[in-house]
Structures are given as C-alpha cells and as structure tokens.
Structure 1
Amino acid sequence: MNPLSQETCTPCRRGAVGLTPAEVAALLPQLPRWDHIEIEGIPQLQRRFPFKTYLQGLKFVHQVAHLAEENHHHPVLVLEWAQVTVRWWTHTLGGLHRNDFILAARCDDLYREFLRPHFV
C-alpha cells in the first residue's frame, strides 16, 4: 500500500496554492504508473487501467466515483472497452494539489484490490 493513500485529503480553501514543479517532481516517484500531463495549460495526473471486459471497467469506475464523492474531489473518468482512464487535478487551483496525489494512490489501491483473486 502506498503511504500517500493513507493520508487525509484537506479541503482547498480560498487562497490555497497548487504544488510547485519541484513538489510535483518529488511526489511523482511515489506514483510510478501515473503520467504527469498538461492539457490546455493545466497540469494533471493520468493513468490508464486495463481490464479484461467492459463490465470490469464499469465496476472500477463506480468504485472511483464513490472515492471521489467521499472526498469531494472529482476526476475525469473515461470508460472504454478494456480500459479506464482517470485524470486528477484540482479544478479550483487550475493545477495539482497534494490531494490529487493522495487520490491517485487510492485509485492504485482500489485497482490492486480489484485484481486480487477472490476465493469463496
């Protein structure tokens, strides 16, 4: 389990600032499967999660949606056949916050749990 996933998200209040490029660079190694991308000038975290079926991907999307609701922080979720793409960034900041890294780590945890064989 990634130590980031054990951290608590903090509300982004007015006046909050995003992470500096140096802070982002320091956190990225903790999320080796995530890409640091920029879309329309906004830095974001993105990962594609592979699945064997569309329905498996849909179940994962529901788990991420519940995670997002619990934390009042909502990613872009793209469901396609055999993959789900998740993109985190903090809309109010127009960039990345530590919360984005925390929730990306929690997505990794959800995915590992999802892939673990369940024996009855």
Structure 2
Amino acid sequence: MTKLSGAEIAELLPQIPEWTVIEEEGMKRLQRIFSFSDFVEALEFSVKVGSLAEQANHHPRITTEWGRVTLTWWSHDQGGMVAADVEMAKRVDVL
C-alpha cells in the first residue's frame, strides 16, 4: 500500500460520494457519519464493520454513539489515505 496523492484521492472520491476527506494530525483521512434510530442499531453496525475490517486486516477508527457511528479510514503506516481505504468504504456502503 502506498499513500494516495491529492490527485488520486480526487479521482477516487466520486466512487464513494457520501464520504469526505478530512485532514487530521497532518494526514488526509476518509470519513463518513452513519445515523441510526438508537444505540443498539449503531452498535450492531459497528460490529459488522469490525468483522469486515478484520477479514481485510485493515481497520478504521470507529466511534459509536447513541444513534450515530463515525468511521474514519487511513493507513497509519503510510501516514495518510491508501487505495484500501476507498475499497473498505465501498464495502461498508454495501452494509
């Protein structure tokens, strides 16, 4: 995995239109907030994402709150976004 350039990120973003790129700690990261009717639904979704992440050996930051889950993908090793982040976002969108 190699870190994506700004141009590569811009080219890939149309494939995942509900995701945004944020900058945090000097790194670009892919993020989306999902809304649910209660904590149980949010937690169940978080578990599904965790299973996908474990299968792919590529793990996001998952913040689970009442009625909301925030997912953030980036590569710690590469110091920013990689193609696997976009692929995982696509897989999560199918959930």
Count of aligned pairs between the two proteins = 95
Corresponding residue of 2:34? 49
Corresponding residue of 2:84? 99
Gaps of 5+ in 1: 1-11, 111-120
Higher strand share: 2
User: TM-score, length-normalised on structure 1?
Assistant: 0.77
- Identity among equivalent positions (%) equals 44
Gaps of 5+ in 2: none
Once residues 22 and 14 of structure 2 are traced to their aligned partners in structure 1, the CA distance between those partners, rounded to angstroms, is: 15
* RMSD over aligned Cα atoms: 0.7
Give 1 or 2 for the bigger CA radius of gyration: 1
Once residues 14 and 81 of structure 2 are traced to their aligned partners in structure 1, the CA distance between those partners, rounded to angstroms, is: 15
The one of 3, 6, 15 equivalent to 1:30 is: 15
User: TM-score, length-normalised on structure 2?
Assistant: 0.97
Question: Which aligned segments of 4 or more residues in structure 1 are displaced greater than 2 angstroms?
Answer: none
Corresponding residue of 1:63? 48
